[in-house]
Amino acid sequence: MNEMPHILVVDDHREIRAAVTRYLEKNGMRATAAQDAAEMDAKLATGHFDLIVLDVMMPGEDGLSVCRRLSGEGGIPILMLTALGQDTDRIVGLEIGADDYLPKPFNPRELLARIKAILRRTDHSEPLAGRLAGKTVRFAQWVLDSDRRVLIDGTGQETALTGADFKLLTVLLERARLVLSRDQLMDLTAGRRAPPLDRTIDNQISRLRRKIEQDPMQPRLIITVRNGGYSLAADVEVMDG
């Protein structure tokens, strides 16, 4: 990115807020801290931020509720901090629109690497849509407007996509009818390898299926290939925007 990215760190633990903001600032980023959702909203109203580091467990409005609310607005990328072993929080967070997660306690270098990976995907100098940037894409009964990051069905109804959903869909569209493994999808969407037993890609596929499949329990567009991965089973027509 051309300017220092501005990160909003939302965590009710003062020590964690202070440590994370210091570390990010030492590594070429601007960082602002908020202790809860109310303070976060106040800072969002008066400043520009490139990413939110958001703790799940907070007093008042919790991180999952915040993530759901902000993702519905199609806004800032979110990296969620979850308690170690709280797989449910992690899965729900990804399902409602978080771009990535990191369990506590975490290595600051890992947090920085995750933040940089998300920023690379959302930086306008490296469009989230890749080769589809500025294009309109037809597949099955859908039209994808890549500039606005919305899906349009046959009746003209629009469905907004989160950053993570949009990236996953464009990766599949660019490689229609190819079988992509979970590791390949993780690398293409997040720029990292999936740790053992990681279900991030499966959860993101499930979330995307709920948006584009007539019956998400019997998918016809994003199919599961046994011992292979996933494939977009549709012809794709790319037009200029």
pLDDT in tens, 158-199: 998 888 889 899 999 999 999 999 888 887 887 667 677 778
Q: Give the pLDDT score at 211.
A: 93
Query: Domain spans of the chain?
Result: 6-122, 130-240
Contact in structure between 171 and 131 (CB atoms under 8 Å): no
- Specify the higher pLDDT residue, 131 or 40: 40
Q: Give the pLDDT score at 196.
A: 73
**Fold: same for 6-122 and 130-240:** no
User: Average model confidence (pLDDT) for the chain?
Assistant: 86
HSE value, Cβ hemisphere, 13 Å, CA-based, for 113: 10
Which CATH architecture does the domain made up of 130-240 adopt?
Orthogonal Bundle (1.10)
Q: Give the pLDDT score at 127.
A: 47
Query: For residue 73, is pLDDT > 70?
Result: no
Torsion 178-184-190-195 (CA) sign: positive
pLDDT band at 123, cuts 50/70/90? Answer: low
Q: Give the pLDDT score at 126.
A: 43
Structure tokens at 207: 């979330």
| Residue corresponding to tokens 């991030």 | 200
- Specify the higher pLDDT residue, 186 or 113: 113
Mean pLDDT of 145-151: 90
Residue 153 and residue 161: Cα distance in Å, rounded? 13
| % the chain with pLDDT above 90 | 52
Q: Is the pTM of this model over 0.75?
A: no
Q: Give the pLDDT score at 4.
A: 84
Which superfamily does CATH assign the domain made up of 6-122 to? Response regulator (3.40.50.2300)
Q: Give the pLDDT score at 124.
A: 44
Sequence length of the chain is: 241
Orientation angle between helical segments 163-174 and 200-212, nearest 10 degrees: 90
Q: Give the pLDDT score at 2.
A: 44
Q: Give the pLDDT score at 85.
A: 60
Mean pLDDT of 61-81: 85
Structure tokens at 148: 């606005």
